[in-house]
Structure 1
Amino acid sequence: MTGSPRIPVIDLEPWRSGSPEQRAEVARRVDAALGQAGFLLVTGHGVSREERAAVRAAARAFFELPPEVKRRYAVSVGGRGWLGPGAEANGYSEGTATPPDLKESWTIGADRPIGDPEIDAFWFQPNVWPTAEVPALRAIVERYTARMREVADGLLELLAAALGQRPGFFTDHTRHPTHTLNINRYPALGQVGEPQPGQFRIGPHTDFGTVTLLDREQGRGGLQVYVDPADGGAGWEDAPYDPEALTVNIGDLMARWTGDRWRSGRHRVLPPAAEAPDEELISLVYFYECDPHTRVVPAPGAGPVAYEPVDSSAYLRAKLDAITVG
C-alpha cells in the first residue's frame, strides 16, 4: 500500500537538501497530515532496511528463548528489560477497558544520568542486556537507537517549520531527553490462542510523548489508525505501508504544544487473525520525548485549544502507570 491524502508518504530528502520552495512544500504537507490523523510515513530518513532487519533478527533470538530464561530479565512498565505477556493494556490510557495486550517487549531507554537522583532513578535507569544469551543484541540496538534519535531531532526541526516556529523550538528541549525503544513481538494465534472479546495486540490509544518512529511489518493483524469521519475518514482504517518508510505519529505532548492544531494519532494493533494463524510480527517502536520536567505549553497562535501548562515527566509517568496491568 502507498500513502493516502490523510496519511501521506513524505520524502525527507527535499527537506534536507532542496530549495527553499521545496522545503516549504514539505513543511506544508506535514502540517496538513498531522492536522488530520496525526500520522505520516517518511522515506529518505537514511536508516537502511538492513539495519532494521538486524535489530529484528537479534530481538527474535531473545524472544525465542525459553520463558524461564526471559523471566530473569522481567520488568514492569517503565523498566528496562523484558515486559512479558499480560503486563500492559494500552487502552487503559484513554479509559477503554480491554483485556491485556497480546504482546511481549524488549525495552531500553535513555541511560545517561543527569546527576539528579530523583530524575535518574526512573528516567535514566541503566539498560539491562541478555549478554550471555544474545551477545549481539546490545551493539545492534544501541546503534539503532542512536540513529533513531538523529532522525527524531531532524523531524522535530521539520515540525517546527511546519508550525511556523524557529528551528530550535522543539529541539531546545531535547538536549538530554528521555526516549524509549520498545521491540514488540506479536505472537501467532497458535501461541496465544483465541483472543478474548475486545482484546488486541495493542489496544486503542494515543502515544504520550512528542514523536514516535515506527518500523513495522505488514500483516493481517496489523496497525490501524483512527481517522475521524468528520474529517472524511472511515473511523478505523488500515495504516498505509511502505517497506522503505518509517511510520511517524505525534503523541499527546506534541498535540498539547500545538494547541491541538495537530492530532495525537489514535491507533491500535489488531489481534492475530484466524485466516493467518501463523503470523508473527515484530515492530520497532521508538518513543521520543523531551528533557525531564519540560514545561509544555501551546505555542502562541498555533491551535484552538488553550491547554494549561503541563510537566512532561508528570504527564508521561501518569500514562505509564495507567497502562500497567495489576
Structure 2
Amino acid sequence: MAAATASTELSSNIITDNSFVKGLAESSTLQSIPSQFTFANDSRGSHSDSIPIIDFSLLTSPDPDQRAKLLQDLDKACREWGFFVLVNHGIPETLMKSIIDASLEYFELPEEDKERYKAKSPSDPIKSGSGSVITTANHKIHLWRDFVKSYVHPEFHCPDKPQILRDIVYEFSEKYRSLLRKLLQAIGENLGLEEGYIDEALKLDSCFQLYAANFYPPCPQPDQAIGIPAHTDHGLLTFLIHNGVAGLQIQHDGKWFNTNSPQNSILVNTADHLEIFSNGRYKSVKHRAVVNKQATRISVVMANGAAPDAIVGPAGPLVERDGRALYRPMKFIEYVETMLSNTVDGKGNLECLKIQDQ
C-alpha cells in the first residue's frame, strides 16, 4: 500500500516507487510486464451462487417473520462467508455511478497533480500512487494498480482535483455512515448486545472512514501480476462498488471464488475489528484483486471503523459469555497505521492480537 508517483523510463519497461501504472500500461511498446511486477499466481476463481444476498429493506419490514429471517441471514453471512451482497440499500444509483466517474476523472489527471499526494508517512490523510508489497521472502513486488485514498471522517480530507470528487465523496461518505450504523445495529442485535452498546463502545459518532479508489488497467500478463494480494481489511465493515468489470475474489473454505454483484448492489465484507469485537464469532476473510488483459477495472471502497481513539477489543458481554477474550485490545488508529507495513502475510495484525490457548 506504499504510495507512488511520476512514471519514468517507460520505454525500457522500468518502474520505480515513484511511478503510476496507468502510464506504463498505456505505453505502445509494452508487451510484457517489467520484472518488478512479477507475482506468479493462479488467478482462477470458482463461480458460486452461494454468496449471501441481504435485502436491506427488510430490516424495517412490518412483518416480524421477514425481519427475523433477514437477521438470521445476516448472522449466517457474517459467520460463514464474511461477505454479502447488499441490495435495496437506499443509496441512489446515480450517486454510485457519479463516484465511479469522478474517481476515474482523478486517475485521468496529469501525473503532477497526483504526485502532490505521494505518501510520506502512514498517517498522511490523503495518499495516491501505485504501491508495492514486501513478500515473506523479503522481495518487493509492485502492484498492477493505481490508487487514491483519503480519510473522510471524523475529519474530511479529499484531493482538490477534480472539484466534483470532493462534493461526491462528501455526500457518498455521509450516506454510507448512515448505512453502517443501521447494519451495525442489526449485527449488535444478532450478537445479543443491548441497543446502543456498539455505538458507545466504538464511539461511532466519530467513526473512522476511509475512501479508496483503485484503478486496474489491462495487463499483458495477468497471470504474472496482481492488483492487490490476499489480505483482510481493518475496520468493522467495508463497502465496495465497481464499474462492472470483475476482479475481486474471496477465499471461502480454502478456495477462491469470483464475486458477482448485481448492478446497484454493494459488496460488504466483515473486517478485522468486527472479528475482534465479536470475539471471533464473525470472520474477517481474505480477498484479493486480480487483473485481466481486456478492460480497465475501477473499484470504490469505503472502509468503516471505530473512532480513531477508540480502544477496540472483544465486547465485554461476549467475553463474559465465552469465559475469555480471544483478542488483545488495541487503539483503532494504531492498528490501521501498523497495517501499512506492506508485508504479504494475509492477516498479520489480526494474528498478532490473537490470544493463544494456554
Displaced runs of 4+ in structure 1, greater than 6 A? Answer: 94-98, 302-305
Counterparts of 1:141 and 1:303, CA distance in 2: 43
- Structural mapping, 1:244-263, within 5 Å: 244-263=264-283
Preserved contact between residue 38 and residue 263 of structure 1 (Cα < 8 Å): yes
Cα 1:194/1:242, change in 2 over 3 Å: same
Q: Percent identity?
A: 24
Q: 1:81 Cα shift? A: 3.4
1:146 maps to: 174
The letter of the residue matching 1:101 is L
The letter of the residue matching 2:279 is G
- Structural mapping, 1:1-326, within 5 Å: 4-5=49-50, 7-76=51-120, 77-85=122-130, 87-89=131-133, 99-110=141-152, 112=154, 124=155, 127-131=157-161, 134-172=162-200, 173=202, 174-189=204-219, 193-194=220-221, 197=224, 199-220=225-246, 222-229=247-254, 235-270=255-290, 272-273=291-292, 277-299=293-315, 300=318, 301=321, 306-322=326-342
TM norm structure 2: 0.73
Alignment length (residue pairs): 292
Q: 1:11 Cα shift? A: 0.4
Give the secondary-structure state (helix, strand or coil) at the position aligned to 2:206: coil
Preserved contact between residue 158 and residue 167 of structure 1 (Cα < 8 Å): no
The letter of the residue matching 2:244 is Q
The letter of the residue matching 1:217 is N
Counterparts of 1:95 and 1:52, CA distance in 2: 40
Q: 1:310 Cα shift? A: 2.7
The letter of the residue matching 2:196 is G
Preserved contact between residue 152 and residue 158 of structure 2 (Cα < 8 Å): no
Cα 1:142/1:3, change in 2 over 3 Å: farther
Give the secondary-structure state (helix, strand or coil) at the position aligned to 2:328: coil
The letter of the residue matching 1:194 is Q
**Where does structure 2 lack aligned partners over 5 or more consecutive residues?**
1-46, 345-358
Counterparts of 2:237 and 2:158, CA distance in 1: 24
1:232 maps to: none
1:121 maps to: none
Cα 1:43/1:59, change in 2 over 3 Å: same
Preserved contact between residue 3 and residue 241 of structure 1 (Cα < 8 Å): no
Give the secondary-structure state (helix, strand or coil) at the position aligned to 1:110: strand
The letter of the residue matching 1:268 is R
Give the alignment's Cα RMSD to 1 decimal: 2.8
Q: 1:196 Cα shift? A: 7.9
Give the secondary-structure state (helix, strand or coil) at the position aligned to 1:175: helix
Q: 1:252 Cα shift? A: 0.8
Preserved contact between residue 212 and residue 301 of structure 2 (Cα < 8 Å): yes
1:115 maps to: none
The letter of the residue matching 1:310 is M
Preserved contact between residue 215 and residue 298 of structure 2 (Cα < 8 Å): yes
Cα 1:13/1:102, change in 2 over 3 Å: same
Counterparts of 1:162 and 1:66, CA distance in 2: 48
Greater relative CO, 1 or 2 (CA 8 Å, sep 6+): 1
**What whole-Å deviation, never above 9, does each CA across 1:17-72 have from its counterpart, x for those lacking one?**
33333222111111111111200111111112211111111121121122233213
Q: 1:159 Cα shift? A: 1.1
Q: 1:142 Cα shift? A: 0.9
Preserved contact between residue 275 and residue 283 of structure 2 (Cα < 8 Å): yes
